[in-house]
Chain A
């Protein structure tokens, strides 16, 4: 087991800067997920940690060692790839033992280690088969085994489940989590799938354009996104974002939607008394109010609560355990997730009220949370 420290990492391909001034500490035994859209530099970062890409500046520490200039094999890492990358001409046993044979271990030790790993991953029956004769799930298991067998402190996963079908992905995800609990190794896991990130991670680093936007627990990422990008990227269906302006009236902060401003002179906006501000708000500040679809409460009639809007239902999407209804609030697209027993028809109007303790407010210009 070892920690991973990345200090001031810079990487550019020619003139394009891919990673700049990147700092990241991964604690010993932690499961860290790098999450982001494609092209955000997450796989590149993983390749830098593995030593498969030369960096331009900065340092990488694994455990106590500065591995910035070390060869991949000397870094104490094992890696699992999206395409499995099994050696096609070798059977499973030879695939697992390749690294050990390169390192010059004795035959007895190799046999023992391969048997151990095969037992952990339950691939004992497959040892004599060639990769071509395995299913996708079995191949990825062997690929994980190849990383396991090398007895390293850090495992790197580069979108390992992306090539599998949905059901298998869920199964292997749970297996990976179990494996992490059993082995306790440090794991760094790259994915663009937010479900994988939220379920697997101890901490998630959400990346965009080579910059870590937020590094937090899955709970923190989901409920207290640090900026608009994280809020929008994580969550499915994504967070509702309503543009508006902040006001102050009788020491009470209020939010008023842009599109409703002309409709009703009496309407002052929704009260933000219960909203936990993290930065000082300013009067007249242009903001976006973010509310997750499941934090909207739908009622038939207007309640006394000031924080409710008219919600016009347009489309209903039953998801099994719950229902997502798509519609609009004051002309802006809006979606709400409610329990499956909630029965209603399309093209009706309901009252939507927000739980403001669980909302997020972002400054429109900086995109930062306030």
Chain B
């Protein structure tokens, strides 16, 4: 044991004090604040504008809060805004989007998860080649295959139908989702799989009873990717869905880009916010799970 001499008694002791206003803190918080403001201001303008009446908008103060709050633009956007000749609002597009979203998301995730499972645990001859080919699909620019796909769907009798657009979304989600699931399952120890096989479980039982319960985070990630991706899709919707099944995004475009009559900025803003509401809600609810799943699945492998 060393004795305490006077010099050590007055020297530093305990945890080192931290300065709050250090250069590092100022830079970090400064950049973050600027970035946040940059993203929030447009959203603020949209919300404020959607709550104003047209006369107030014409006054031109786009940053000013509404003098008189009105929800009429929201009601009009949902119920009676005109797209071309029909004036039934966004609700038609909303229900179309729901009808496209639910089967596409469900089917694509179901198939991709089984794909990923088979590719990491039940390797067959040529499974690596198969996986590489599938990944290649993720890098092909969509524009190249639009027209061939139109012909393909026409021959299948699915062009301009709900089935057609669901098929398109399912197929296009496959590469990235399969990659996601394969990498997640690759991080599950092989011994777990072996133990289940010794216990007598087969292909489906191992998947359903052992892997599914421990894969919640990656399913949430896949769900978010698909929900936001399919909901925000404009391109496939406008080409393959057909006029009767136009998703919300296509209808939004038709409302906003009407060339006749007065530009109803408040209705346009309300319609845009309504269209973006679902992905926004999904992110807010599942942000934490999303990050956890991405960290668990996407990086490794």
Contacts and interface: CB of A to CB of B under 8 A. Distances in A.
Interface of A: 47, 50, 52, 71-73, 77-79, 81-83, 85-89, 98-99, 102-103, 143, 146, 150, 158
11 contacts: A52-B194, A71-B197, A72-B197, A79-B195, A81-B191, A83-B191, A89-B214, A98-B199, A98-B201, A146-B199, A158-B191
Q: Which of B191, B194, B198 has the most CB of A within 10 A?
A: B198
Given A50-B194, A89-B213, 13 more contacts: A47-B194, A72-B198, A73-B199, A82-B191, A85-B191, A86-B195, A87-B210, A89-B214, A98-B196, A98-B199, A99-B200, A102-B201, A146-B199
B194 A87 contact: no
Given A83-B191, A87-B210, A77 B198 contact: yes
Interface in B179-194: 189, 191-192, 194
A150 B196 CA distance: 13
A245 B196 CA distance: 56
A50 B194 CA distance: 9
Contact of A102 (B192, B194, B199): B199
Contacts of A143: 195
A85 B194 contact: yes
Contacts of A87: 192, 195-196, 210
A46 to B, nearest CB: 10
A78 B198 CA distance: 7
Contacts of B200: 71-73, 99, 102-103
A140 B196 CA distance: 16
B174 to A, nearest CB: 27
Contact of A73 (B197, B210, B214): B197
Contacts of A71: 197, 200
A83 B214 contact: no
B205 interface: yes
B138 to A, nearest CB: 28
Given A79-B194, A79-B195, A146-B199, A85 B189 contact: yes
B197 A83 contact: no
A79 B195 CA distance: 7
